[in-house]
Structure 1
Amino acid sequence: MSAADGRDVGACADGNCEIAVSKPVTFRFKGPAGPATLSVTEVGPNKVEYTIKSGNSQSTGGATGSGQSCITVLRSNGGGNSCSGQGDAARPSPQPDAVVIQTVTSENGTAILRIVSD
């Protein structure tokens, strides 16, 4: 899998990016309630785990298995996660007053992260 923004975490600062990560990384991006932080805590073959902090809220997610993905939706008043076997699904659609974060596992140990703002 390739990512539109390569491995450039700086591309995520504005709340819109698609990057590939193959090791733990932490970066800031524009969230619905101000600055937010995404920390990829573990990444490997068919596995990704992460934590997102936005304001006083924190959300964790992770997927294990071939072609698994998680979506976290951040809103100014909180957020939520859902994980499934969506695989290398298309970029998630923007949602009003929210930031959508998608993580997708891959067999080669590189996860794809997509952040979408309206």
Structure 2
Amino acid sequence: MAAYLQIVQQVQEALRLGILTEGDQLPTAARVARDTRLNPNTTLKAYRELEHLGLVEPRPGVGTFVSSSAGRPNPLVESPLRGELSEWMRRARAAGLDWADVSALITVARAEHYPAG
């Protein structure tokens, strides 16, 4: 996966999990480039894609912020399914499964229930 898409995916995940919320400021593209050792154009491309998706709003001279539409509370954060999954993960660990085992089970279940993805 292209590096800029990895940045986009990480921001989307942070939004899904409630780590980023409306009004949060993202680090500057230059800082992300420096911290990740990516080309600054790569981080700028990621930020433009996030803007295109309506997830962030650039404010010239101030920074890039999570947009109001993207920062709404996510029902997944407090979902009963999240609690059930957390409990399943706890039981898997107690049964001696390592991350590779758990990942394999998730991959199989995903293929069964989401065959196109």
Interval containing the TM-score (normalised by the shorter chain): under 0.3
TM-score (norm. length: structure 2) = 0.22
Which has the larger share of strand?
1
Which has the larger share of helix?
2
Task: Tell which structure's C-alpha radius of gyration is larger.
Answer: 2
TM-score (norm. length: structure 1) = 0.22
